[in-house]
């Protein structure tokens, strides 16, 4: 059923969607409930602001939600009560662990050659979750890389589009973040696992070379057969799921081929984030095998029905803030980018429209992504989705 115009507009009213989402999940609508003794206040969801306002203006909080939500325990105090020993973090969360993507991504510049942004942008989601982005002017794909920590190890999801550490110092940045995290938790070091959402995606596997020879590091081998063997998928691909145990934080590995033969998605039950790489992201999705693509989305839909998902986080952003508008390949100045995080409803939307393009060579525009099936990634179309407002974004300069 296509969205009505009003629904289409509402999709972009972040706050409304969050409210609807919370209303639809009654068991999660009050994620951090623990009434203080003697408190007459109704326990309520966390006062974490929904990011409906730019960061400058967000953050007033909400009095109705109470001052002392349960999620407070997910932060290790700045003043450890027992200094000396390693801190063991409590990853058992009743709802999504508190965290926030409160910043605008670096997004290139008018003249790429004179860009002065950092080569790797680091944004902390919470103490145990980091999002890194490659500078658009180092590589136009500007992939996102995720770094998750558990009590027994860290996980790096994807590795960026550039191998040269002079241009893209991913290893150096990851090492520094890991070192600081270890200091914070009173550990000498922590093992690192590097897993890719696709070993054959050259926009995500290039940085892997920087980590060769790194001590205490496990690299999930990129060749498809070796990868399947590593996760124990042998024979059961793509029906089974694998896992990466970080110590009290077990990341689930879901086979999701479709854009790449060896595509996998990762689910983090601590923050309720689903990392989908090239399969589903706010951008131009190039379907490699449409039958696999539909099957993978069905698998994700079923997974989402069983597991709470706060955001779907992909590997890139190509979309603009205006619905259905996107940047072409090789763009190095993207001032009007859409935000990275997608709501879980996007899985249903993608599935519905993936079925529409299945077996046909065509491109199809949706507000939050564009599907390309069997056509050039530079294909154009005059077909505009029904019910989506046609907003022409301003020319960047």
Partner 1 sequence: MDRRTFLSYNAAALAVPAALTTYAEAAAASGLRPAPIDFSGDGPAPGSFPDRWICGSESLMDNTDPPVHVHWYNSHTAILRQNKAYSFEAPFAPLYFGNDRVLLLDEGFTQLRTNWDLRGVVDECIADWCKRHVRDPASLELLVAFSHLHADHYAAVNQFADRPNTRYMGLTHEEMLGFWGMTDFPEQRITLDLGGRDILIWGSPGHVVSEFAYYDSYTQILYTGDMFYRGRCYITYWQPWFDSMARLIAFCDEFPVSHVMGCHIEISRDGTDYPYGTTWQPDEAPVQMTVEDLRQTSNSRRRSPNRASISPAPCSSAIRPAASPRSTPIPTDTTDAFVARISGGVRMRKGASR
What is the rounded CA–CA span in Å between residue 122 and residue 131?
Answer: 6
Stretch that binds partner 1, among 124-132, 223-231, 249-257, 303-311 (CB under 8 A): 124-132
Is the distance from CB of 117 to CB of 135 less than 8 angstroms?
A: yes
Q: Closest CB to partner 1 among 271 and 388?
A: 271
The distance of closest approach from Cβ of residue 53 to partner 1 in the complex, given in angstroms and rounded to an integer, is: 6
Locus of tokens 């994620």: 31
Q: How far apart are CA 296 and CA 301, in angstroms?
A: 9
| Look-up of token digits 């662990």 | 97
Provide the β-strand partners of residue 287.
373
Q: Which of 1, 23, 79, 113 binds partner 1 (CB under 8 A)?
A: 79
Q: Is residue 307 a contact point for partner 1 (CB under 8 A)?
A: no
Closer to partner 1 at the Cβ: 63 or 391?
A: 63
Return the residue of 76, 245, 248, 252 that touches partner 1, per CB under 8 A: 76
> Which stretch in 95-103, 136-144, 241-249, 308-316 sits in contact with partner 1 by CB under 8 A?
95-103
Size, binding site for partner 1 by CB under 8 A? 54
**8, 11, 47, 370: which one binds partner 1 (CB under 8 A):** 47
Pick the stretch among 42-50, 273-281, 295-303, 306-314 that binds partner 1 (CB under 8 A). Answer: 42-50
Structural tokens at position 146: 């995720």
Q: Of 23, 27, 54, 188, which lies in the binding site for partner 1, with binding defined by CB under 8 A?
A: 54
Token look-up 């190095």 returns: 332
Q: Residue 22, interface with partner 1 (CB under 8 A)?
A: no
Q: How far is the CB of 147 from partner 1 (least distance, A)?
A: 10
Query: What's the closest the beta carbon of residue 175 comes to partner 1, in angstroms?
Result: 8
Q: How far is the CB of 61 from partner 1 (least distance, A)?
A: 3
Count of other CB atoms within 10 angstroms of residue 376: 11
Rounded least distance, CB 188 to partner 1, Å: 13
Q: Both tokens of residue 188?
A: 């000498």
Among 13, 63, 92, 391, binds partner 1 (CB under 8 A): 63
Binder to partner 1 among 11, 30, 44, 46 (CB under 8 A)? 46
Contact stretch for partner 1 (CB under 8 A) within 75-83, 160-168, 186-194, 221-229: 75-83
Which of 11, 91, 108, 121 touches partner 1 by CB under 8 A?
Answer: 121
For partner 1, give the closer residue by CB, 170 or 196. Answer: 170
DSSP string, 270-317: TTTEEEEETSS-SSEEEES-HHHHHHHHHHHHHHHHHS--SEEEES--
Q: Which lies closer to partner 1 via its Cβ, residue 121 or residue 333?
A: 121
**Which residue has 């200094």 as its token pair?**
83
Alpha carbon distances (Å) from 254 to 97, 204, 284, 388:
21, 18, 22, 32
Chain-centre distance for alpha carbon 156 = 12
316-354 b/e (C-beta count within 10 Å ≥ 16 → b) = bbbbbebbbbbbeeebbbbbebbebbbbbbbbebbbebb
- Enumerate long-range contacts of 50-53, CB under 8 Å, 24 or more apart: 50/14, 50/15, 50/18, 51/14, 51/100, 51/101, 51/102, 51/339, 52/13, 52/14, 52/15
Residues 145-184 within binding reach of partner 1 (CB under 8 A) = 173, 176-177, 179-180, 183-184
Please tell me the distance from the alpha carbon of residue 342 to that of residue 310, in angstroms, as a whole number. 9
Looking at the DSSP bridge assignments, the partners of residue 108 are: 333
Among 91, 130, 233, 369, binds partner 1 (CB under 8 A): 130
Instruction: Choose between 15 and 291: whose C-beta lies nearer to partner 1.
Output: 15
Q: Minimum CB separation from partner 1 for residue 250, in Å?
A: 22
Among 5, 85, 103, 239, contact with partner 1 (rule: CB under 8 A) = 103
Both tokens assigned to 372: 């390309």
Identify which of residues 76 and 245 has a Cβ nearer to partner 1 in the complex: 76
- By the criterion CB under 8 A, which residues form the site for partner 1? 32, 36, 46-49, 53-63, 67-69, 71-79, 81, 98-100, 102-104, 106, 116-118, 121-124, 126-127, 130, 173, 176-177, 179-180, 183-184
């Amino acid at each position: 059923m296509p969205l009505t115009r009003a629904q289409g507009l509402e999709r972009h009213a972040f706050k409304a969607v969050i409210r609807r989402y919370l209303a639809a999940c009654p068991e999660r609508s009050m994620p951090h409930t623990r009434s203080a003794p003697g408190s007459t206040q109704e326990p309520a969801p966390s006062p974490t602001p929904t990011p409906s306002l730019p960061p400058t203006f967000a953050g007033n909080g909400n009095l109705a939600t109470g001052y002392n939500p349960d999620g407070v325990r997910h932060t290790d105090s700045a003043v450890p009560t027992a200094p000396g020993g390693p801190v063991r973090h409590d990853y058992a969360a009743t709802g999504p662990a508190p965290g926030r993507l409160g910043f605008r991504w670096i997004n290139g510049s008018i003249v790429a050659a004179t860009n002065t942004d950092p080569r790797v942008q680091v944004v902390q989601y919470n103490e145990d979750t980091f999002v890194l982005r490659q500078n658009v002017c180092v590589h136009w794909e500007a992939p996102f890389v995720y770094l998750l920590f558990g009590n027994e190890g860290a996980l790096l999801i994807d590795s960026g589009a550039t191998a040269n550490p002079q241009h893209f110092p991913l290893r150096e940045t990851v090492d520094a973040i890991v070192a600081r995290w270890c200091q914070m938790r009173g550990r000498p070091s922590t093992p690192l696992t590097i897993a890719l959402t696709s070993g054959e995606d050259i926009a995500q596997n290039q940085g892997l070379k920087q980590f060769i020879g790194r001590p205490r590091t496990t690299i999930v081998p990129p060749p498809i057969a070796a990868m399947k063997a590593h996760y124990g998928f042998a024979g059961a691909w793509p029906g089974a799921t694998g896992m990466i145990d970080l110590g009290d934080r077990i990341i689930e590995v879901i086979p999701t081929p479709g854009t790449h033969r060896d595509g996998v998605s990762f689910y983090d039950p601590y923050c309720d984030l689903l990392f989908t790489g090239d399969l589903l992201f706010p951008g131009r999705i190039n379907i490699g095998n449409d039958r696999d693509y539909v099957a993978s989305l069905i698998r994700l839909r079923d997974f989402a029905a069983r597991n709470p998902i706060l955001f779907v986080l992909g590997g890139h952003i190509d979309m603009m803030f205006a619905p259905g508008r996107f940047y072409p390949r090789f763009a190095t100045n993207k001032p009007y980018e859409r935000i990275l995080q997608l709501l879980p409803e996007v899985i249903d939307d993608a599935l519905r429209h993936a079925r529409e393009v299945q077996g046909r060579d065509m491109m199809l525009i949706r507000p939050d992504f564009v599907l390309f099936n069997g056509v050039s990634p530079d294909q154009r179309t005059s077909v505009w989705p029904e019910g989506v407002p046609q907003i022409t974004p301003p020319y960047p300069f």
